[in-house]
Amino acid sequence: MQHANWQLDGIVTQLRATREQWRAQNGREKEKGCRELPSRHRLRDTLDQLSGAIFPMRLGPSDLRKESEDFYVGHTLDRALNALHEEVLLELRYMARLNGGDRSAEHAETATQIIQGFADSLPALRRRLDGDVMAAYYGDPAARSVDEVLLCYPGVHAVIYHRIAHYFYRAGAGLVARVIAELAHSDTGIDIHPGAQIGESFFIDHGTGVVIGETAIIGNRVRLYQAVTLGAKRFPADEKGHLEKGLPRHPIVEDDVVIYAGATILGRVTVGKGAVIGGNVWLTCSVEPGRNVTQANTQSGPCP
């Protein structure tokens, strides 16, 4: 088969010129010649390894036997933690260079501390995820077993990744955390910012289109359905017109709340303990504990 002549020499030259122009405009001319940023592909492989190590007989390899379970977990964690160390170190060095410094030895020590902390947190993470899996099993009458929930439910998949991402967000590896969150978003259609604080026994049923913002706080035993948004109402800007970062701007959802499909809750409002928010409700103010809010009763205003 004869290949066409795509005239690539000129295209490659133009692409190089475009890259160099962008680097000059953004002060990147002195960047090193090697890749500086964490890799989505490597993090995806590492997350698969972590999922298998946390739930070896269900998310691990198909030929795994119980007598070799500990060996598999130890070997897999060693690979995954070493890979995570390299990705976190890339981020720390990259961020330091953006801010005008590069103390490599210090970054290596920080990366080691972050990964050791993550490794130490894994038993507690597994127990927390067991609660999420059980919440999904008890919360869905269609679920026939906890194994089905773990293997099949996108909400559980998204929560596994979020629990991991949240650790790295709080540990100072925000870019690694965001990549992990976006991998879950790509897989499931569930968009949870790694900064969101989520309590125990959390269940997202169906899940597609769910959005949970960075400063959202969610209590224990909360259940969400598809297309729920916990978002920001407005985005304050500074005197230069730049959006201000890190301000509390997303809802607080207290324990035992249920939010049905299509509901949108915006701003730093509080949904009180045990409240039920009906489908397609639009809320921009707080809800008292135990209250049921539907489209019908929002027409006259759900809050004082």
State yes or no: pLDDT of 300 exceeds 80: no
Q: Residues 201-222: pLDDT tens digits?
A: 999 999 999 999 999 999 999 9
Closest CA to 259 of 291, 233, 232, 234: 291
State yes or no: pLDDT of 266 exceeds 60: yes
Question: Which residue ranges does the chain devote to CATH 1.10.3130.10?
Answer: 37-190
Q: Residues 76-111: pLDDT tens digits?
A: 999 999 999 999 999 999 998 888 776 677 899 999
Question: Which residue ranges does the chain devote to CATH 2.160.10.10?
Answer: 209-304
Q: How confident is the model at residue 296 (pLDDT cuts 50, 70, 90)?
A: confident
Q: What is the pTM of this model?
A: 0.91
Rounded Cα distance between 64 and 106, Å, is: 39
For the beta carbon of residue 14, count every other beta carbon within 10 angstroms: 10
Q: How confident is the model at residue 112 (pLDDT cuts 50, 70, 90)?
A: very high
Instruction: Kindly report the average pLDDT of the chain as a whole number.
Output: 93
| Class of the CATH-defined domain 209-304 | mainly beta
- Mean pLDDT over 222-250 rounds to 88
Closest CA to 23 of 7, 36, 41: 36
pLDDT of residue 159: 98
Q: How confident is the model at residue 29 (pLDDT cuts 50, 70, 90)?
A: low
CATH superfamily, domain 37-190, is: serine acetyltransferase, domain 1 (1.10.3130.10)
